[in-house]
Structures are given as structure tokens and as C-alpha cells.
């Protein structure tokens, strides 16, 4: 048996998330169907993170075990010939049997994109949240977010339905920057709770619009006031950028391959 790792991009617009489920089309299901066509037997895949319905991935990491004569670096080309254009394999490599896409990851990186322009933009509407009612104060948002760095209990930023035993996780870094009318929120953490990033963004937008103060924002998550955290950002603005490991598994990819800079007039 060989263990193969994949670096996967997908447009989550028309998928019910990563994980297989009944009566819904998911990325995992489509990928495993393609692997069945190659190997002629069922192949179980494991991902670095489970994205929700409508969430995208620019560098999702997946592994699977297979008894097949294909060399590991051939799976990317073969799979891309079978997959829809909304799912692309950027690279495939053989890895050690002990390596795991999820458990070997040091941290994950999510990015949320807000279009703060007065006008919607057709070319980025599928991958951003058009929040135009007020000009957001991204500096205020960044300052409010800084206290979340470190290990904390983020119970207030967890949607119901999670099967985790606790809501403690470690945020390694948060960065919020504006490029013209686009605001990029980058969060790196050892793990993410169900719905965590979208709930954080929903609250930070309220801070940026001066609807709540940074102190109220902090009070809500520190004191686990889940009932006060009602606003959740839409899925389409969220992207799983990549997972980071102690050793660089994929050799042919640079940062711009994960999440390219928007080269749109007025947004670059």
C-alpha cells in the first residue's frame, strides 16, 4: 500500500462542503468517485480540514492509501482528467505511512474576503462578501481581534451541532488588511471550531461598523456569551488557504498558487 498526499483547490459554490453526506454533493464524494475509476475499488480520503457548504479551498490537503502501480506524482494529472473544473489537483506526492493530512498539520490558515465597495463586482462576487452599508474600520477590527491570539476557549464562536469534546483551540496569528475596497482577514490556528471563522467575521464587521465596541466583542467570547453572537458571515467569502506541516510536503507550489492576488482594476 502507498500513501499519497494531494494538494486540492475547489470552488465550493455548488458543494455541500468537503465531507460526504447523504443526499448532498460534496467534494470528498466527487474525489472518491474519481479515485474509484482509477483503482477500481473504494478509496477513503482524509482532509486537513472540513469546509462547510459554500466554502472554498485554495490549498486543501488530502491523503489516501492505495494499492496501485501509479507513482504518487501521477495522480494529479490522472485525477484532473476525471474531475469537474471546479475541483483541481495542484500536486500529488507519495508520503510516509505515518504522515496524516489532518493530524500531522501544525496549523491551518483560513482567509475571509470582504468587498467593502459601494458596488458589487461580478468577477469576485462568488468569493467575497459584499458588505457595503458602511465603510469598515479595518484598524479597529484588527485591534479588537488581537486578544484572541493564543490558547482560549472559543465556545461563543462555535455553531451548534459540533461533535468536539471542548471548544479550546489556539489561534497563532490574525491579520486584517485593506487593499482598496477589499478587506482580507487571515486567521491561522491549530484547529477551528464548527462555524468559527464566519462567526468571528460577523462580530468583527459589527466592530468595523461601530455597532459594537472592541470591548463588547471581547466580552462576548471571553465570557462565552454565545447567545449574543448572532451574526454569521456568509460562506462564499471564506477560503481554506492551506495547512502547514513541519516538513514541506509539496515542492512545486508557492504562496501565490494558494491564493493569487486579485488583479482587478480598482482592487490591486
Active-site positions read 52
Q: For the chain, how are helix, strand and coil distributed in percent, rounded to 5?
A: 30, 30, 45
Classified as helix, coil or strand, 109 is: strand
Report the candidate in 180, 205, 176, 204 with the shortest Cα–Cα distance to residue 188.
176
Dist CA 195 CA 204 (whole Å): 14
Alpha helix stretches (DSSP H) within the chain: 27-39, 75-80, 138-145, 196-208, 214-222, 255-258
> What residues pair up with 110 in beta bridges, in sequence order?
187, 240
Report the candidate in 60, 137, 126, 53 with the shortest Cα–Cα distance to residue 91.
60
- Residue pair 180/113 in contact (Cβ under 8 Å)? The answer is no
- What phi and psi values does residue 173 have, to the nearest 5 degrees? -165, 150
Report the candidate in 39, 161, 174 with the shortest Cα–Cα distance to residue 111.
174
Dist CA 11 CA 234 (whole Å): 15
Cα angle 103, 240, 175; round to 5: 105
- Residue pair 46/105 in contact (Cβ under 8 Å)? The answer is no
Helix (H) or strand (E) holding 154: none
Amino acid at each position: 500500500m502507498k500513501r499519497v498526499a494531494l494538494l486540492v483547490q475547489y470552488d465550493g459554490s455548488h458543494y455541500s462542503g468537503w465531507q460526504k453526506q447523504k443526499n448532498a454533493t460534496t467534494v470528498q464524494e466527487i474525489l472518491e468517485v474519481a479515485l474509484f475509476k482509477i483503482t477500481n475499488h473504494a478509496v477513503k480520503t482524509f482532509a486537513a480540514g472540513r469546509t462547510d457548504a459554500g466554502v472554498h479551498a485554495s490549498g486543501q490537503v488530502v491523503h489516501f492509501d492505495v494499492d496501485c502501480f501509479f507513482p504518487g506524482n501521477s495522480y494529479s494529472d490522472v485525477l484532473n482528467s476525471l474531475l469537474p473544473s471546479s475541483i483541481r489537483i495542484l500536486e500529488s506526492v507519495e508520503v510516509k505511512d505515518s504522515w496524516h493530512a489532518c493530524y500531522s498539520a501544525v496549523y491551518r490558515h483560513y482567509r475571509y474576503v470582504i468587498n467593502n465597495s459601494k458596488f458589487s463586482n461580478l468577477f469576485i462576487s462568488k468569493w467575497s462578501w459584499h458588505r457595503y452599508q458602511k465603510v469598515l474600520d479595518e484598524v479597529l477590527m484588527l485591534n479588537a481581534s488581537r486578544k484572541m491570539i493564543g490558547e482560549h476557549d472559543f465556545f461563543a464562536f462555535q455553531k451548534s451541532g459540533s461533535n468536539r469534546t471542548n471548544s479550546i483551540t489556539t489561534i497563532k496569528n490574525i491579520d486584517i488588511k485593506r487593499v482598496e475596497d477589499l478587506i482580507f482577514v487571515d486567521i491561522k490556528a491549530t484547529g477551528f471550531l464548527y462555524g468559527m471563522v464566519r462567526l468571528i467575521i460577523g462580530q468583527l464587521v459589527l466592530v468595523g461598523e461601530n455597532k459594537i465596541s472592541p470591548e463588547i466583542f471581547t466580552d462576548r467570547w471571553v465570557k462565552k456569551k454565545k447567545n449574543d453572537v448572532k451574526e454569521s458571515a456568509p460562506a462564499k467569502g471564506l477560503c481554506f488557504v492551506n495547512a502547514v506541516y513541519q516538513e514541506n510536503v509539496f515542492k512545486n507550489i508557492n504562496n501565490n498558487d494558494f491564493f493569487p492576488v486579485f488583479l482587478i482594476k480598482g482592487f490591486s
